[in-house]
Amino acid sequence: MRLKKIALIFGTRPEIIKFVPIIYKLNDYKCFLKTVTIVTAQHRDMLDQFMNFFNIKPDYDLNIMEENQSLSIITIKTISKLENILINEKPDITLVQGDTTTTFAASLSSFYQKIPVGHIEAGLRTFNKHEPFPEEMNRSLTSLLSTLHFAPTLRARNNLLKLGINENDIHVTGNTVIDTLFLILNKKIDLLSKTTLKLNSDSKKLIMVTAHRRENFGKPLENICHALNDLVKRNEHIEIVYPVHKNPSVRNIVFSLLSGKKNINLIEPLNYFDFVTLMAKSYLILTDSGGIQEEAPSLGKPVLVLRNSTERPEAVEAGTAKVIGTDRIRILNNVELLIHNTSEYNKMATATNPYGDGKASNRIIKIILDFLNIHEQY
């Protein structure tokens, strides 16, 4: 009897981070399912780093990465290279995750081959197609192309219902990033080497920063950098750590404005285990990342979001995150409030994580098994 086949397609580190518990759990169903792992390598180094650590070996590597690649090139290369693979493999369902250009292109390519798409982390919205860019449109278009929608929260489910998605196709599962985080925390992994990062964090409040979104390129990122410089000048008891994204549009600005500044550590992107360790050691986090808004609450870390809007309003409503934008003075005031006001800090640090209990991957796989009509066999 032919095994049912699932194609998992991803291309960036955030995607593999949220896919890894799915990949691990699918190994329990090898007698029913064949898994085909396809990577686009939209982000090469950071993707490889994570796959190597988890010993994940793709069946196909499209290797589309090139320096300063445009969104058009990513989309065209992904669709064209996926076509023959999907025709030859004939998967019964394709799984994609999140809101990357790989996610959208893989969904469209699957649609062209009439392959059902399961969208993990479906239904997130800012309802502003330019923020975040291009992620808001990537996930919106992926929703239109998908058959199964794995929404992390009730709000995400309601967003999909507003679009006219059939309620029977939407499943609230929690977010798989919490599964991955718990997997790491349960292993008690602490790999942040002293050679990688030398800090005075025992005596200073450590502030972790990540900023790399396209809508923050240029003046917004310059404002962020100036605010960070203001913070260390005015507050000698803090230390900033900024793993700087590989994109030249980020690195050129960040290194020109912050390199050599006292108490500001500009470091290379970390593997995810070191990244989790750094989050756990931090006092608070400044970020334009979506995933960190989901992860940090499980570590009890307040998140100040360096964007004008967020597709994860649950974190804001729960009190674990606050959207502060990229205005220099506003960043400075909000950070100083948390480092000087213990009551305000504790309100955010003790809030409940709204994104799940670490069992999202179990729920997603059971739904897929049901969809493939093999639920009576497991």
Burial class (CB in 10 A: 0-12, 13-18, 19+), 219: exposed
Full DSSP string of 207-260: EEEE---GGGTTHHHHHHHHHHHHHHHH-TTEEEEEE--S-HHHHHHHHHHHTT
Of residues 320, 325, 331, the one with CA closest to residue 306: 325
Residue 195's contacts (CB-CB under 8 Å, 6 or more residues apart) are none
Residue 80's contacts (CB-CB under 8 Å, 6 or more residues apart) are none
Residue 290, helix vs strand vs coil: coil
Whole-angstrom distance, CA of residue 208 vs CA of residue 190 = 17
Question: Computed from CA positions of residues 280, 317, 359, 161, in that sequence, does the dihedral angle turn out positive or negative?
Answer: negative
Whole-angstrom distance, CA of residue 112 vs CA of residue 80 = 11
Q: How many CB atoms lie within 10 A of CB 5?
A: 17
Whole-angstrom distance, CA of residue 303 vs CA of residue 292 = 8
Whole-angstrom distance, CA of residue 367 vs CA of residue 122 = 15
Active site residues: 99, 121, 135, 212, 214, 245
Residue 323's contacts (CB-CB under 8 Å, 6 or more residues apart) are 305, 307, 308, 309, 310, 316
Residue 93's contacts (CB-CB under 8 Å, 6 or more residues apart) are 6, 7, 115, 116, 117, 118, 147, 148, 368, 371, 372
